[in-house]
Structure 1
Amino acid sequence: MPLPRFLDIEYCQTDDTLFPTAMSWSLEDGRLKTVVIAPEDSWIPEDGDLGDIDLLYLEEQGVPLIELARELHQDLPDQTVFTDGMDPDEILVDLIFTAVSMEAPFEIAPITELITTSDTDRLEDRRRQLLFDEGLEPTQSENGVYALLLLAREEGLLED
């Protein structure tokens, strides 16, 4: 049985803008990939106010959107990819693929569609507890994916 796939996206959100800044996803074998995302020029507000986001870092270290889109097509074709269901993940994925005039190769579903034995609040509490227990920063996308993998393992959906 193939392992479920998971995805988490860090993002910038201000009054004027919403765009992805980093993304992590799991592969079929359970490994994680993480990339910093170079923003599309049209995503940056005219006043340049991005709150605490370092635009220079994103521009210098970020992966161009076309490269990210190709990698996601390679890694997640025809997959259902599960998220924590707490973030605007579908909107962020649409922003990425609209910017490169491509269709997303996967469907997004909340973790509650994979783990049906618990409600959203209980799963979110457990995910946060796993992050705390592991000493992981909850705002980093790779940690979000790792916590979802741990949740799935607890539910017997992954082998140790």
Structure 2
Amino acid sequence: MSIPRFLDIEYCQTEDALFPVAIAWSLADGQMKTVVITPEESWLPEDGDLGDIDLLYLEEQGVPLLELVQELHQDLPDQTVYVDGIDPDELLVDLIFSAVSQDAPFEVAPVSELISGLDSEAIEDRRRQLLFDEGLEPQLPENGVYALLLLAQEEGLLDDL
């Protein structure tokens, strides 16, 4: 059985900025990868206001975009990658790849296209309940991906995790 791929992106959003700060995605075997992202200088607002985002942490711990893009090309070529459909994931993926003048090697689709038996609201309610039941912090992208994997498993779309 081919395991659907999932992706979630944590991001910074202020009045003057919207950019990714961390990303997680699932692999063909159900494993996950998580990466903190070093932001592009052009993404940062001139006033320096990043809300509760720690820029020093991102710069010290983050992976350069070119490395991230290479890894995504390696892990997700010619895939449809499902997202929760709530966050601006498609826009954030475009930001990542356009920063290095490349196109994403995968297509982004809302999980509602994969799970056709439930409407978007029911899917989101179930996803939130899974996060709560598992004691997971919803803002961490790896937890978002894990919840989507659990949801797909509940729907019979993959074997036991």
Provide the residue aligned with 1:74 in structure 2.
74
The corresponding residue for 2:146 is: 146
Q: Which runs of 5+ in 1 are unaligned?
A: none
Q: Which residue of 1 aligns with 2:58?
A: 58
User: Helix, strand or coil: the match of 1:10?
Assistant: strand
Q: How far does residue 47 in structure 1 lie from its aligned partner after superposition?
A: 1.0
Structure 2: tracts of 5 or more residues without a match: none
Query: What are the superposed Cα offsets for residues 17-73 of structure 1, whole Å, 9 maximum, x if unpaired?
Result: 000000000000000000000000000111111000000000000000000000000
5 Å-filtered alignment, 1:106-117, equals: 106-117=106-117
Pairing of 1:5-154 with structure 2 (within 5 A) = 5-154=5-154
Structure 2 CA distance for aligned equivalents of residues 106 and 23 of structure 1: 15
Aligned amino acid, residue 77 of structure 2: P
TM-score, length of structure 1 as denominator length? 0.99
Equivalent residue letter for 1:117? G
State, as a whole percentage, how many aligned pairs show the same letter.
76
Q: Per-residue displacement from partner, 1:74-100 (whole Å, max 9, x unpaired)? A: 000000000000000011000000000
CA RMSD between the two structures: 0.4
TM-score, length basis structure 2: 0.99
Letter in 1 for 2:143: N
Query: What is the rounded CA distance, in whole Å, between the counterparts of 1:90 and 1:114 in structure 2?
Result: 16
CA distance in 1, matches of 2:36, 2:16: 21
